[in-house]
Amino acid sequence: MQCIHSAQLVLLDRILENAWIRFDAGRIEDFGQGKPPDSVESFDGANRYLAPGFIDIHVHGGNGSDFLDGTPEAFLTIANYHLSRGTTSLCPTLATTTYERMKDVLGAWEHVRSTSTAHLLPLHLEGPHLATSKAGAQDPALIRAATDENISWLVEHAAGISQMTCAPELLNGLSLIERAAKAGIVLSAGHSEARQPEAQAAIERGLTKVTHQFNAMTYAAKSGLFRKPGLAEYALVEDRLSCELIGDSFHVHPTLMKLAYGAKGPGKLALISDALAGTGLPEGSQFMLGKLRCKMGPGYCLLADGSALAGSATCPIDQVRIMTSAVDVPLVDAVRMATHTPAKLLGIEHKCGEIQQGKAADFVEFDAQFRVHRVWAAGTLAHSN
């Protein structure tokens, strides 16, 4: 039995001062305030915050590697980097690629997930069934509508796929959503020209989420005499949809971040890193996103020619800090958006995502300046500064 004491436990609805938490065999046993019970091994929390480990459902890479590299070494490099920043669970996310490459990366995930200290959740496929007009930093040469063969492959391999981002308005888009959702994949609208009617039709067939709210989607525009909502506005008022948010203040201005938080609340807004291979590298470093050359800017990633943003260079701990400082979100809500909400989106909230008896002993310890000090994964001290 292990115990962390003298900590500030970040719960779903409050912060528990002068608290302790005991855990054993990778699960939380109990927690409380005041003098801790006897334990075999004890850690002094030094009055720092202790939150559930962050769960990143949209992350492409870090520390020079991309999940599209498709090697066990790349998977572990990325996982270990994000683990050091407090992310204990992550969905390896693939930018638009070929189905042949997807098969290779899925094989690498199956090979390496049991050896990773961080929890490598099933993959998030961001493409290739997207709108070319909303490609952003996706390779337009590889974007296309889904075929019946593609959809059948996705259904067959659903156990290794947590989510798929697609454009519902494409040919076979609704069939893709319906069949993949029935197979257990979370379907998300993104890089899309869809508006309210297309989104409503997709929701009826199983769509539950939008990818990186405010980015690569439609906005309100006039149709004839009247102005009608785009996906960006409709997602904020549709209770059946949850939203990802890149809370780095670059992809989304703090005013829009505040709008999203006010509209969706912490229970339906999930912070995502959308981190690329350049995350953790010095400014000016160059790296690849599939076949696209990118570079590190001052706190963000962009295409090498500087024409567009290309994913984030932040981690959930950075976004929790930004949400509390720039958007004035309570710490408990900011942490919830990086832990319990993404777990709920994936349907794994019964196992992880909050400090509760019986749930995973995945913790991140950080101070008032949001510096990560220690990280536990499945009850094991996995990182310490």
For the chain, the three-class secondary structure string (H helix, E strand, C coil) is CEEEEEEEEECCCCEEEEEEEEEECCEEEEEEECCCCCCCEEEECCCCEEEECEEEEEECEECCEEHHHCCHHHHHHHHHHHHHCCEEEEEEEECCCCHHHHHHHHHHHHHHCCCCCCEECCEEEECCCCCHHHCCCCCHHHCCCCCHHHHHHHHHCHHHEEEEEECCCCCCHHHHHHHHHHCCCEEEECCCCCEHHHHHHHHHCCEEEECCCCCCCCCCEEECCEEECEHHHHHHHCCCCEEEECCCCCCCCHHHHHHHHHHHCCCCEEECCCECCCCCCCCCCEEEECCEEEEECCCEEEECCCCCEEEECCCHHHHHHHHHHCCCCCHHHHHHHCCHHHHHHHCCCCCCCCCCCCCECCEEEECCCCCEEEEEECCEEEEEC
Q: What residues are labeled active site?
A: 274
Instruction: Please say whether the structural domain 53-353 has been given the CATH code 3.20.20.140.
Output: yes
Residues of the chain with pLDDT under 50: none
What CATH architecture applies to the domain 2-49+369-384?
Roll (2.30)
- Tell me where in the chain the CATH 2.30.40.10 domain(s) lie: 2-49+369-384
What global pTM score does this model have? 0.97
Residue ranges of the chain assigned to CATH 3.20.20.140: 53-353
Give pLDDT, residue 39: 82
What per-residue confidence (pLDDT) applies to 308? 84
pLDDT at 212: 98
Residue 166: the pLDDT is 98
pLDDT recorded at residue 247:
97
What pLDDT is attached to residue 126? Answer: 98
